[in-house]
Amino acid sequence: MTEQGPAETNYSPSRYRTPDGAPADIVMFTITSTARKTAMKSLPERRLEVLLIQRKSWPFAGRWALPGGFSKESETLLESAKRELEEETGVGDVHIEYFSAYSTPGRDPRGWIISHAFVALVHEQYLAERRAADDAADVRLFPVDEALRMELAFDHREIIADALEQIRRKMMTTTIAKEFLPEEFTIGELYQVIQAVVPSFAESNFIRKITSTRSRQGIIEEVKDRDGEPKLSNRYSQRAAQLYRFTDYAPALSIYG
Partner DNA sequence: TTAATAGTGTCTATAAGACAGTATAGA
Partner DNA sequence: TCTATACTGTCTTATAGACACTATTAA
b/e per residue 205-232 (b: at least 16 CB within 10 A): eebeebeeeebeeebbeebeeeeeeebe
User: Does 19 sit near its own copies (CB under 8 A)?
Assistant: yes
Out of its own copies, DNA, none, what residue 150 binds, judged by CB under 5 to 8 A for its kind, is none
Between helix 124-134 and helix 77-89 the angle, nearest 10°, is 50
> Mask: binding to DNA, 226-255, rule CB under 7 A, as x and -?
--------x-xxxxxxx-------------
Out of DNA, its own copies, none, what residue 236 binds, judged by CB under 5 to 8 A for its kind, is DNA
Q: Phi and psi (nearest 5°) for 74?
A: -85, 5
10-18, 29-37, 38-46, 119-127 -> range binding its own copies (CB under 8 A):
10-18
User: Does 62 sit near its own copies (CB under 8 A)?
Assistant: no
User: Does 205 sit near DNA (CB under 7 A)?
Assistant: yes
Q: How far is it, in rounded angstroms, from Cα 61 to Cα 56?
A: 5
Out of DNA, its own copies, none, what residue 34 binds, judged by CB under 5 to 8 A for its kind, is none
Q: How far is it, in rounded angstroms, from Cα 246 to Cα 241?
A: 16
Q: Phi and psi (nearest 5°) for 145?
A: -65, -35
User: Does 207 sit near DNA (CB under 7 A)?
Assistant: yes
Helices (H), 91-174: 124-134, 144-149, 156-173
Q: How far is it, in rounded angstroms, from Cα 53 to Cα 250?
A: 35
Closer Cβ to its own copies, 29 or 154, answer by number = 154
Closer Cβ to its own copies, 40 or 252, answer by number = 252
Q: How far is it, in rounded angstroms, from Cα 93 to Cα 51?
A: 17
Closer Cβ to its own copies, 60 or 240, answer by number = 60
73-81, 144-152, 166-174, 213-221 -> range binding DNA (CB under 7 A):
213-221
Q: How many CB atoms lie within 10 A of CB 125?
A: 11
User: Does 206 sit near its own copies (CB under 8 A)?
Assistant: yes
Q: Give Cα separations from 133 to 47, 80, 84, 137 (angstroms).
A: 21, 25, 19, 9
User: Does 42 sit near DNA (CB under 7 A)?
Assistant: yes
User: Does 38 sit near DNA (CB under 7 A)?
Assistant: yes
DSSP β-bridge partners for residue 119: 27, 97
Out of DNA, its own copies, none, what residue 41 binds, judged by CB under 5 to 8 A for its kind, is DNA
Among 34, 216, 228, 253, binds DNA (CB under 7 A): 216
> Mask: binding to DNA, 174-203, rule CB under 7 A, as x and -?
------------xxxx--------------
Q: With CB under 7 A as the rule, give the number of residues binding DNA.
A: 30
Q: How far is it, in rounded angstroms, from Cα 60 to Cα 63?
A: 6
Residues found near DNA in the complex (CB under 7 A): 36, 38-43, 186-189, 204-205, 207-209, 211-214, 216, 234, 236-242, 257
